[in-house]
Amino acid sequence: MKIKEMIKTVTALALAAGLAACGGKKTEQVLEPLPDIKKPAETAPAETSAAEVAGDMIVGGWSINQDETAIENYPEVLEAFEKATKDLTGYSYEPFALLATQLVSGTNYCILCRGHVVIPDPAQEIVLVYLYEDLAGNAEIIGRKNVFKGQTALGGYRGNTGSLSVEDNEEVKAAFEGALMNLTGASYEPVAYLGDQAVKGTNYVVLSRVRAVAPNAQGKFAYVTVYQNVDEPAKFKDVTDVVFGEYDE
């Protein structure tokens, strides 16, 4: 027998032995089933907790409230706020709007408030209050940022000492809506009237939610200054984004 034929014969015998040891069946590769692909989450129902409100994630992990901002829409936040301020002395806060949340080991909330020192005829302040609620439901104020004081510096701005609602301030509402008439590219939703400045006319500062005019555009919050002169149409003068997570010393 030739050497090449001997090699073929030995190889064939070895393969036959291997198949016999395996029951004569070929080994097949078993593929694990692919995991189910989850569909995108449905739109959140109306009754959604503040921590679950759909938001645009921004620097620092803060998520902007894309829903109604009025604080009365969030009873769980009001409850946490009351816990955090129940033993507060010398200063009083009135919460107005929920602006943003941050999920940590628990939840941080940024709430627009009016505040004042507890003295006769106090100066009113408008502040961003940062509230932390832990997983056990304990709550505390962890910081605040002063936005406006209810007093006028020479040639400066005067904080709003009345209702923060734009609906309750007809001149501000008219100026804001007038400035929107010829605006394109973005939508502006007034949240709170913060203060004004008397110049040749009046500058009104309105905390607003700003959204680009685009499908599924997320909103941000900004301090919007609207200028109104009796002889001219109202116009937007300045837009400054709200930066979340910054506290006063």
Query: What do you get for the CA distance between the two ends of the chain, in Å?
Result: 98
Q: Which two tokens stand for residue 33?
A: 């089933």
Distance (Å) of CA 184 to CA 7, 179, 214: 84, 11, 11
Does a structural domain hold residue 48? Answer: no
By residue range, what is the domain housing residue 98? 54-149
Does a structural domain hold residue 139? Answer: yes
Q: How many domains does the chain have?
A: 2
Q: Which two tokens stand for residue 175?
A: 């100026």
Name the residue with tokens 């034929």: 5
* Shared domain check, 133 and 162: no
CATH of residue 118's domain is 3.10.450.10
| pLDDT value at residue 154 | 53
Rounded CA separation 210/239 (Å): 10
Does a structural domain hold residue 24? Answer: no
Q: End of a domain among 102, 126, 149? A: 149
Residue type, 117: V
| pLDDT value at residue 109 | 98
Rounded CA separation 169/120 (Å): 26
| pLDDT value at residue 183 | 84
Model's pTM, two decimal places? Answer: 0.75
Rounded CA separation 235/241 (Å): 18
* Shared domain check, 97 and 167: no
Q: What average pLDDT values come out for the chain (249 residues) when binned by 10 residues?
A: 40 40 37 30 39 47 94 97 95 97 96 94 92 96 90 73 95 96 90 93 95 88 94 92 90
